[in-house]
Amino acid sequence: MKSVNTIVIFLITFGYEVIYNDAPVLWQTGFQDPATPVMEGIINLHHDFIFFFILIFVFVLWILLRAIYFFNSRVNKVAINYSHGTLIELIWTIIPIMILMTIAVPSFALLYSIDEIINPAVTVKAVGHQWYWSYEYSDYIGENGEIINFDSYIIPEEDLEIGQFRLLEVDNRIIVPVNTHVRVIVTSADVIHSWAVPSLGVKCDGIPGRLNQISLFIKREGVYYGQCSELCGVNHGFIPIVVEAVPLDNYIDWIQKKLYA
């Protein structure tokens, strides 16, 4: 990920426009571009796992090919009986244990960082419904005691404008500030939903009668698209999530407009 960041800085320095992949694209096989430290950690951990996977795959393939070539009736006319080898059994037991331990250390570190909540400056409550999301900003109270809350519905295909994504665009986006610790409290009003945004590295189930929470620290401005990742009914594919990260000043202006509209 450091090399990717270096390339991005290089392109910006020489006047090139960097376009981030914050929504799914046709024939996509990799991750969306990360916007949070958690997602960067997930991608780095995935790449590390793939490294071990390739080593193991090549080694096992080599053993299989050697066994197929040497242990057959054409090469060895007379079968040879082998007894158990204590040394080789120790080796093929200890090496996988060491690999699992090597994988476990960064995995647990990333897992605990995902669950960590660091003094959130903004709290957003996401409530799943069949089939839309409701959001509440309870940190801010207007003159009459009301809080900011709104529903977020999918935009029908016939109402989409040029450049908008089919099945991903909503009428009311979540607005959050960049470089700010944000807490999202997720629950549901009916069945189990799941609030998931790939570029932010978050996926949290909304369970009726329970409150789950996740932490966001978005490092760059942008619009991030997600969907409900739980089979919540017949319209499960029509309950998208859109998070827009803006500078702090723009966020404050948006809050004031919502409170005094």
Measured CA to CA, the distance from residue 64 to residue 68 in angstroms comes to: 6
Residue 132 lies in a domain: yes
162 with 231, same domain: the answer is yes
Classify each residue of 192-206 as buried b or exposed e, where b means 16 or more C-beta atoms within 10 Å of its C-beta.
Answer: ebbbbbbbbbbbbbb
Query: From CA 113, how far away is CA 117, in angstroms rounded?
Result: 8
> Between β-strands 174-177 and 147-152, what pairing exists: parallel, antiparallel or unpaired?
unpaired
Tell me the one-letter amino acid at 195.
W
Do 93 and 210 belong together in one domain? Answer: no
108 and 228 together in one domain: no
Q: Are residues 99 and 128 in the same domain?
A: no
**Are 141 and 203 within one domain?**
yes
Q: Decide: pTM greater than 0.85.
A: no
Does 159 lie in the same domain as 99?
A: no
Q: Is 110 inside a domain boundary?
A: yes
The yes-or-no verdict on residue 50 having pLDDT over 50 is yes
Residues 218 and 255 in one domain: yes
Question: How many Å is the Cα radius of gyration of the chain?
Answer: 25
User: Is 23 part of a structural domain of the chain?
Assistant: no
Which pLDDT score is estimated for 115?
83
Q: Tell me the residue range of the domain where 48 lies.
A: 37-75+84-115
Regarding whether 131 and 88 lie in a shared domain, the answer is no
Please state, in angstroms and rounded to a whole number, the distance separating the CA atoms of residues 159 and 129: 22
pLDDT cut 70: percent of the chain above it? 91
Residue 13 lies in a domain: no
Looking at the structure, tell me whether residues 68 and 137 fall in a common domain.
Answer: no
With respect to residue 256, please indicate whether it lies within any of the assigned structural domains. Answer: yes
Q: How confident is the model at residue 11 (pLDDT cuts 50, 70, 90)?
A: very low
Q: Which of 115, 131, 166 is the last residue of a domain?
A: 115
**CATH number where 211 lies:** 2.60.40.420
Task: Kindly state whether residues 108 and 135 are assigned to the same domain.
Answer: no
Chain-wide mean pLDDT for the chain?
A: 86
Tell me the average pLDDT across 109-125. Answer: 87
pLDDT at 20 over 80: no
Residue range 4-25: mean pLDDT, rounded: 56
- What is the rounded average pLDDT of the residues 164-179? 92
Distance linking the first and last C-alpha atoms of the chain: 42
Confidence of residue 99 (pLDDT cuts 50, 70, 90): confident
Same domain, 101 and 175: no
Are residues 127 and 250 located together in one domain of the fold?
A: yes
Instruction: Give the H/E segment covering residue 42.
Output: helix 37-70
* In the predicted structure, residue 151 carries a pLDDT above the cut 80: yes
Does any domain span residue 24? Answer: no
Once rounded to an integer, what is the mean pLDDT over residues 72-96?
A: 78
- In a domain, residue 247? The reply is yes
Average pLDDT over residues 80-98: 82
Mean pLDDT of the 107-134 span: 89
- Per the domain annotation, does 147 fall within a domain? yes
More confident residue, 175 or 144: 175
How many domains are contained in the chain? 2
Instruction: Give the pLDDT confidence of 179-188 residue by residue, as tens digits.
Output: 999 999 999 9
> What span, in angstroms and rounded, lies between the C-alpha atoms of 197 and 178?
16
Spatial separation of the C-alpha atoms in residues 113 and 115, rounded to whole Å: 5
Q: Quick one: pLDDT band at residue 12, thresholds 50, 70, 90?
A: very low
Which of 53, 144, 68 is CA-nearest to residue 102?
Answer: 53
Inform me whether the pLDDT recorded for 3 exceeds 50.
Answer: no
